[in-house]
Amino acid sequence: MPKIITFGEIMLRLSAPGYLRFAQAKQYDATFGGGEANVAVSLANFGMDTEFVTRFPDNDISKACIQELHSFGIGTKHCIFGGDRLGIYFLENGAVSRGSKVIYDRSHSSVSEIEPGMIDWDTVFKDADWFHWTGITPAISHGAAQVCKEAIEAANRRGITVSCDLNFRKKLWKYGKTAAEVMPELVKGCDIILGNEEDAEKEFGIKPEGFDAGHTGGEIDQKRFTSVCRQLMEMFPRCKKTAITLRGSVNASHNTWGGILYDGKTLYESKRYDITHIVDRVGGGDSFMGGLIYGLITYKDDGKALEFAAAASCLKHTIFGDFNRVTVNEVENLMGGDASGRVSR
């Protein structure tokens, strides 16, 4: 079975219950989440051999987080310890015409203070087949960006497939470097690139003409994003496949969802899903990436891999928390057209 390594920051997630605003909340629902950990959870739930690598503070909150990862069957033996705190993010869930809000409290977290040489990447990648990272990690700090580069270069030396979710987060780039300055050097070592229309524009100046994500009315012409994929592959010649997630926002509670995959010759378009009552959209892109990695490894069919990714991510929108707690059977049932939501007895 292929072994997949993911690297990044996992945080304590504190969510205002239901649809309460921050000013209304008297208590918060505590879970864990973070881009690369979310991908690891998806893959573990699909039966893949998965390891998550990060830097934890040595305290009881970290131990609770590690126990949570272990409950999914995710390995953590290559995690290191140091620093004083686990990062936190606060979430206020939006509804209808009110969007969700995220407040980060992750300055001086253990991962943000990581430095090159702290992780022995040759040991981490000894038996690995795939490495995944996101654009969130190099946004945290200069040290995190350098360690991410170490990991990518080590994976490249070993011939390991490297995937990246571009994941632009404007609130995180605060240490004196911009995404446009840092990301190209890292992405050039990637074989698979996932993003959305904002990621490609903010990081590389690539965008589809005449598209405004805030005014789609839920309707998106997926083919117009072929140019984005093509430009990414031209900019990064190592890249073999690019994927774009396409969210049509009717409002905060009702989105359409799908994606495209391009291999340099053929454009694959997924089914578009009409998600009318979103439970939690955080982690939607990560669940798509987890589904795509699983599909590319398992099916050897790019079109089917894309459909698996879109269906897996559609299901994630019905689940509270960052993690996509679904099985292969559930995803394949939705791929096959079973969207009835009937009780399973």
Residue 341 within a domain: no
pLDDT at site 207:
81
Q: Are 188 and 222 in contact (CB under 8 A)?
A: no
pLDDT in tens, 21-37: 999 999 999 999 999 99
pLDDT at site 258:
94
Q: Give how many domains the chain has, as a whole number.
A: 1
The answer, as to whether pTM is greater than 0.85, is yes
Region of poorest pLDDT, from 75-89, 156-170, 204-218, 304-318: 204-218
Q: Identify the domain containing residue 215 by its residue range.
A: 3-335
**Does position 214 have pLDDT exceeding 70, yes or no?**
no
**Does position 87 have pLDDT exceeding 80, yes or no?**
yes
Residue 61 within a domain: yes
Query: How far is C-alpha 110 from the chain's CA centre?
Result: 20
Give 176's pLDDT tier (boundaries 50, 70, 90): very high
Average pLDDT, the chain: 93
What letters, b where the CB count within 10 A reaches 16 and e where it falls short, cover 97-135? eeebeeebebeebbbbbbeeeebebeebbeebbbbbbbb
Cα–Cα distance for residue pair 260/270, rounded to 1 Å:
6
Residue 343 within a domain: no
Q: Are 151 and 130 in contact (CB under 8 A)?
A: no
* H/E segment holding residue 145: helix 142-157
What average pLDDT does range 110-127 have in this prediction?
97
By DSSP bridging, strand 130-134 and strand 254-262 are unpaired
What average pLDDT does range 71-91 have in this prediction?
97
Residue 345 within a domain: no
What average pLDDT does range 7-14 have in this prediction?
98
Residue 342 within a domain: no
The DSSP secondary structure of 19-85, one letter per residue, reads T--TTT-SS-EEEEE-HHHHHHHHHHHTT-EEEEE-EE-SSHHHHHHHHHHHHTT-B-TT-EE-SS-
Residue 340 within a domain: no
Sequence-separated (6 or more) residues with CB below 8 Å from residue 297: 2, 48, 130
Name the CA dihedral angle for 132, 104, 198, 307, rounded to a multiple of 10 degrees. 50
pLDDT in tens, 221-272: 777 788 899 999 999 999 999 999 999 889 999 999 999 999 999 999 999 9
Sequence-separated (6 or more) residues with CB below 8 Å from residue 140: 9, 106, 109, 111, 112, 172
Tokens matching residue 223 = 């083919």
pLDDT at site 300:
86
Residue 344 within a domain: no
Phi then psi dihedrals of residue 94, to 5 deg: -85, 170
Q: What is the CATH number of the domain that holds 255?
A: 3.40.1190.20
Residue 217 within a domain: yes
By DSSP bridging, strand 273-275 and strand 88-92 are unpaired
Instruction: For residue 161, list its beta bridge partners.
Output: 130
Helix axis angle, 302-316 to 328-335, nearest 10°: 110
pLDDT at site 337:
87
